[in-house]
A = this chain, B = another copy of it.
């Protein structure tokens, strides 16, 4: 039987985050001691590991909810998990593409900064005038 702190350490999750997952129904309500403290078993450890690993791969909590559901019902078609993962892969691809455009732009900016006073600063100049951009980064780079 694990305390919430131990579970946190084993999965690399902050205590508050575990309680948060419970609150939004991603983690089940665990057993409690007489004094009211949470105690976890292996099932919960596995579930939290699944959640954290999925988060590290960039899945949203909503996507994880679906994936957990799939995992809980082994007869459902694998195809659904595949769709979610592919969607995620697409998003990652897009993000990388955008970030690379930004990187190029930033690098150019920084490279051209002469180090004088800010009225002559290339960095500020580029920010001021979008037309100086080599790339058209329409969407936000996050």
Is B57 a contact partner of A121 (Cβ separation < 8 A)?
Answer: no
The answer to whether residues A57 and B141 also contact, given A88-B106, A106-B85, A109-B85 and a CB cut-off of 8 A, is: yes
Q: Give the residue of B74, B85, B96 whose beta carbon is less than 8 angstroms from that of A118.
A: B74
State the CA gap A74–B121 with chains docked (Å).
Answer: 9
Is A137 a contact partner of B74 (Cβ separation < 8 A)?
Answer: no
Chain A 66-90 interface 0/1 with B at a Cβ cutoff of 8 Å (1 = within): 0100110111111111101110110
Residues of B within 8 A of A50 (CB): 127-128
**Interface residue tally for chain A (C-beta within 8 Å):** 62
State the CA gap A7–B33 with chains docked (Å).
Answer: 60
Is B102 a contact partner of A99 (Cβ separation < 8 A)?
Answer: no
The answer to whether residues A110 and B123 also contact, given A115-B79, A118-B75 and a CB cut-off of 8 A, is: no
> Interface residues, chain A, CB within 8 Å of chain B?
12, 46, 49-50, 53-58, 67, 70-71, 73-82, 84-86, 88-89, 92-93, 95-96, 99-100, 102-103, 105-107, 109-110, 113-121, 123-124, 127-128, 130, 133, 137-142
